[in-house]
Structure 1
């Protein structure tokens, strides 16, 4: 499960149960693996069997918030979401109390973020549910209690994540950790249950200390508190139970989250969400439980990816030279049912067109999406083609082979957008209501290149078809992207803005001042 090999995990746990290992833990592990595959009813049933053998209040929260990975339709998605809302309300009034507060077990309701809806109220309720079930989550570190001492000469800042290895979070965060002024900041990196053997050595070396946190939640809190930090930065909250639960505690006078998982946390002790004016629409403050701070630049120092060493080749990737390749290189759960109509229109209007997707972590994800496509646009769904999961080099080759890249609605690309724009590959995008659907748009705005920004789904299809069939225009757009791409990479202006923000919020958090007095930026 932890390695993302969900199909293997299901097979292993089912075999263990067939061999007579009829214990609660085996049923719960099978339930978790089935939920990761998107088999919600079967996963919930396995958790119920575990509950019958050995009741665990934490599992009640997981059962209540189970969501499909690939919705069958928009109606199916909305019904599942409504069920979660009702279940959370029920549990809030149930007096649910955890018996073991040391385990990092939580419901992240991860797939809510991909529904294209406002998650603020539900995220706040989820946070309140976890806090009611385990009040010790709200623990305060000794140095943060009233009457504690002030700031040291250099601001002590800690970055906490599970994903400081070969992950998008590392790519979005590593440059900031590397380049923060060491005259002004003392940096500590905390690995929360992460694979430290795969962490970039430079990331750990850039810090004063790199600390592997214990798996015990209470011990992990104490370990972070022992560093007496001025600021805790969570590059991502909402993808890992440990970091989600750590964020409930007051481990530093100032606590921030950034865009590694670009959704509000709903957690009371997370003070700021650091984003960008390039990303956020007017009124975006209402999307966050945190105070929204907008940098003027994109919130990353992103290293330019190495240039590819091989030329792109349609034929070598398994496609004919005459095919128009519309590539959507995203995790399959990002493909909202609203996006189906766009794919259908594109394929009907371009008879040489092929929509290319990458297989899901589970074969079940791919099967479920194929079945939805057949129901949604069966007349052309045979021209949606899946490629197997790719190495970094092969992923670059796929991007370069594309005639156009497709940014899905509501939750678009992040790391893939940076990689594609570094290569000069055009991405069609239609900015959404929320920041998670506006990252590609934000990159284009910072670059000053907006040829491929659509104002409607209809214009989105028009731009994609023009990219696929007007070679001269596509090459001109690609040239403009390449010429402006330096605006995205190794951006010290963003680092300077982070430094100014960190310095100001620490000042405001001193005794006699409140962090909430900070301007929204």
Structure 2
């Protein structure tokens, strides 16, 4: 043959002309029948043409001619040829072809562990991987075998990372992790990978119990991994294992190396105590420590924070409004923390922040000439089955698409079945989905040329605050999700005539934009068939049932005392308690206070959770009167109570959090149950318990309000929000 035939064959091969290349190798075999490499390449070319059986026949014909002592060496030569081509095909992203080649390697050497790992890698690339592949390929069996096999640790780590990214929820993924641990030659790398997986399981997939397992394994590899320990404290708390969560948070506090670490660990301890409920005195003790630390960090005013440090600072004062109704003092501290937070964000992310500010000036002049509809961006991690998600949908539903363009920015978009989330996706002209990458989110908002950016998270999500601090939109607004964050880059805070007192403008950093009637409105709620009957809880038909359904951190000790005073004064009355918290500590909390008030424990009913919000709403009819919490009122729970026509008693304070139920009652046309003092709270509770005609009147008013009240008119609310946005934009354009 022409001495250049191999070069020519390679050219055909590289071009994908496998038929011509195969023809040349057939000619080579005819002239050099003893040269095995020709058979290896010809068979491989047949594989590339889909002729699997012919390929195997070609290889085995050559191997069969080998002497017994040469078979192993010749097989390894063939495997090397196949491996090189599989690598080339994978590099060119021809994953199906690479996978087929590696299956042939597996048939030749079934226990080639690296090849098995690469098969898993290719299955992930092809998106047809399942955890069962780990068993059918024998990977788990080999990893668990004794004596231990030799493993390419870097490859194992890489494949493990791909598996965890693709299928973190698969039970065999966790088994894969445990089987890999003895081969972790770089424990810190493995530990970091497991922590990343744990974070995704908790925040992205809402599986805190699984996140716990990954974090525990991370710490098993690296016991000194402070971040893994910190996150584990949160995972325990999210999973309802409050005692473990509190103990782990306290361990983080003991190990703190500086004031910032101490502040966040203190916040974690508070989070555990408040979520569990029933740890009142201890919560107050830790609140005092936290306040001292926060005042100290504000005085020091460090401007060299990295992102994770700044993020943990912005929501450090989260629990203050739950424990004390001191609007001006709480706002002052939050504003100071927010200023420090923003100064650091705009230091470590100076380039985008400055670029956005410069471009906004140009936008203003351009938009005066371009009369397109206002482009609104809504950003949140709550566009799903969440309190904010249930409430915000009516505004999105009624927005006038000829008047505004809607862009949605989904933080921690969840890869789970959530019909509300998918509903939101369909409401936006563009729905942008993120895992939580601040700079990427801000840049997308900037590139979308959003006129007004509305955030629904406030300090409930630090990433949202970081995006807002970069100011990617010329006008930025906080609405609905919580009290204002105090971040200086946010221009307006949406309120109404009632939810904030007139004096609030003196201590809010944001300009308070008061809508004419209400700051939130819904058209109603889905209600299912109730699953509770009074007889299920040994409650007589003529009993008066007071009800409270709140998370543990809303249960203020002094407000609970007021509730028990009501119970004490109303014969044949019971207190039904429901809400996310530690069952043991909450029962202890209520029953210890009841003993102090001389109330029998028989008058309490601690109710279980239910499968869905519509069932929860239907079951509210078990109650005669709902007793609101203070200083942090209900919000969604209050709206649900009023929609179901149940009288509610609320104590009004000075903060946004202590005036939510007040504005909702007023906007439903009801004044009965609104208390301005502790004494009035007890009086209203007793009156509504003793007077059935008063309860009937309130119920009649609430049911009638469905057709008339601002609270239940989402369409009118949308027009008022649009008017506000247009006025904000006009003011901006006028400078």
Q: TM-score range by the shorter chain?
A: 0.7 to 0.9
> Secondary structure at the residue paired with 2:680?
helix
Residue in structure 2 matched with residue 130 of structure 1 by the alignment: 341
Residue in structure 2 matched with residue 518 of structure 1 by the alignment: none
Pick which of 27-36 and 425-434 moved more: 27-36
After superposition, the C-alpha distances for 1:119-142 in whole angstroms (9 at most, x for unaligned) are: 211112222343355423575374
Question: Displacement of 1:414 after TM fit?
Answer: 1.2
After superposition, the C-alpha distances for 1:185-219 in whole angstroms (9 at most, x for unaligned) are: 11101101132652443322221111102432222
After superposition, the C-alpha distances for 1:78-119 in whole angstroms (9 at most, x for unaligned) are: 543332222123334173734456996555132223122222
Q: Is the 8 A contact 2:313 2:337 kept in 1?
A: no
1:279 to 499, 512, 524: 499
> Secondary structure at the residue paired with 2:400?
coil
Pick which of 208-217 and 191-200 moved more: 191-200
Question: Is the aligned partner of 1:498 residue 2:721?
Answer: yes
Change (3 A) 1:509 1:8: same
Q: Is the 8 A contact 1:266 1:290 kept in 2?
A: yes
> Secondary structure at the residue paired with 1:145?
helix
> Secondary structure at the residue paired with 1:304?
coil
Question: Displacement of 1:264 after TM fit?
Answer: 2.2
After superposition, the C-alpha distances for 1:388-427 in whole angstroms (9 at most, x for unaligned) are: 2222233123311101011112211211222222221111
After superposition, the C-alpha distances for 1:32-77 in whole angstroms (9 at most, x for unaligned) are: 345663855640423654x67xx9x974541354424167677655
Question: Is the aligned partner of 1:97 residue 2:304?
Answer: yes
Q: Which has the higher helix share?
A: 2
Task: Find the structure with the greater CA-based Rg.
Answer: 2
After superposition, the C-alpha distances for 1:227-270 in whole angstroms (9 at most, x for unaligned) are: 11110001221111211221211111110001221x12121101
Residue in structure 2 matched with residue 519 of structure 1 by the alignment: none
After superposition, the C-alpha distances for 1:274-325 in whole angstroms (9 at most, x for unaligned) are: 0111322221223422110111121234131135445973124554435321
Question: Is the aligned partner of 1:117 residue 2:326?
Answer: yes
Question: Is the aligned partner of 1:449 residue 2:670?
Answer: yes
Question: Is the aligned partner of 1:472 residue 2:674?
Answer: no
Q: For structure 2, which runs of at least 5 residues remain unmatched after alignment? A: 1-201
Change (3 A) 1:483 1:333: same
2:526 to 275, 285, 306: 306
Distance 1:493 1:94 in 2: 45
2:358 to 124, 141, 145: 145
Residue in structure 1 matched with residue 508 of structure 2 by the alignment: 288
Pick which of 173-182 and 380-389 moved more: 380-389
Distance 2:289 2:614 in 1: 42
Residue in structure 2 matched with residue 193 of structure 1 by the alignment: 412
1:108 to 311, 315, 322: 315
Distance 1:253 1:102 in 2: 26
> Secondary structure at the residue paired with 2:319?
helix
Pick which of 165-174 and 128-137 moved more: 128-137
Q: Is the 8 A contact 1:429 1:452 kept in 2?
A: yes
TM-score (normalizing by structure 1): 0.86
> Secondary structure at the residue paired with 1:280?
coil
Pick which of 319-328 and 225-234 moved more: 319-328
Pick which of 131-140 and 350-359 moved more: 131-140
2:436 to 215, 223, 227: 215
Q: Is the 8 A contact 1:314 1:321 kept in 2?
A: yes
Question: Is the aligned partner of 1:370 residue 2:587?
Answer: yes
Change (3 A) 1:308 1:83: same
Question: Is the aligned partner of 1:345 residue 2:553?
Answer: no
Pick which of 287-296 and 349-358 moved more: 349-358
Question: Is the aligned partner of 1:388 residue 2:608?
Answer: yes
Q: Is the 8 A contact 2:218 2:228 kept in 1?
A: yes
Change (3 A) 1:107 1:13: farther
> Secondary structure at the residue paired with 2:712?
coil
> Secondary structure at the residue paired with 2:439?
helix
Q: Is the 8 A contact 2:530 2:615 kept in 1?
A: no
Distance 1:11 1:451 in 2: 50
After superposition, the C-alpha distances for 1:159-203 in whole angstroms (9 at most, x for unaligned) are: 000010011111221111222221221110110113265244332
